[in-house]
A = this chain, B = another copy of it.
Amino acid sequence: MTERHKELSDSWIENADHWVRAVRDGQIPSRRAGTDQAILDAISRVVGERDPVKLLDIGCGEGWLLRRVAEIPGLQGVGIDASTPLIEAARQADPVNRYEVVSYAELIEGADSLGDGFDVIAFNFALLADDSLGVLNAARGRLTGGGTIIIQTLHPEVGTLSGETRDGWRIEDFMAFEDQGWTPMPWYFRTLESWHKVVREAGLTLRELIEPTAGPGQAPMSLLMVCESES
């Protein structure tokens, strides 16, 4: 594990209490304004065609997504995250879905307990490092034939807006949050070209590309990619 990966992984343990409050109290404006609904809508469009549905939420955090999609009949959810305190928080809040502590490294190495045959795999702001090709390959290997991978991520145009347009590590300092005392988190920025390339290299085809906004005429709040496994 590189230093960056360790810092990233540790930040989700150290920030677990902050994060649970931030998500459950609705402290992240873009999530309230549309990115939560955007990934729920994308999952609903895919699920609408299948029944029953096995959904894997990779980097599930405290589990809000599985709690929300549990309302869809016939849906079986599994959530994994490398952060033990976040998985504990997910389990406490949700007696229905299954949550497991699994790191991305373990996923890439083939975490046996996880199972496969998933119809939909979701990454909601959860591809945060430079190992996305390996993670997506591992995810694709757990899909059913014709399965779908849904990725929501920061919109790459923040690169141009911030004057730093190359793929590379950045630091999230969480200064926009109300409370203090967060551990800074390294995360890996990708351009749009780089996102599409890693999706393609992982044997996926882009089926839908969505730019959630807070309303007509607003700038995109994220990039949401609905991808299918090739062949």
Contact = CB atoms under 8 A, between A and B. Distances in A.
Interface residues of A, number: 27
Given A160-B220, A220-B160, A220-B191, A165 B207 contact: no
Interface string A191-217: 111001100100001111111010011
Nearest to A192: B211
- The complex is assembled from copies of this chain, and their number is 2
A24 interface: no
A157 interface: yes
Given A157-B157, A160-B220, A218-B165, A200 B208 contact: yes
Contacts of A220: 160, 165, 191-193
Given A159-B219, A192-B223, 20 more contacts: A157-B157, A160-B219, A160-B220, A161-B161, A164-B217, A165-B213, A165-B217, A165-B219, A165-B220, A191-B220, A192-B209, A193-B211, A193-B220, A196-B208, A196-B209, A197-B209, A200-B207, A200-B208, A205-B205, A206-B206
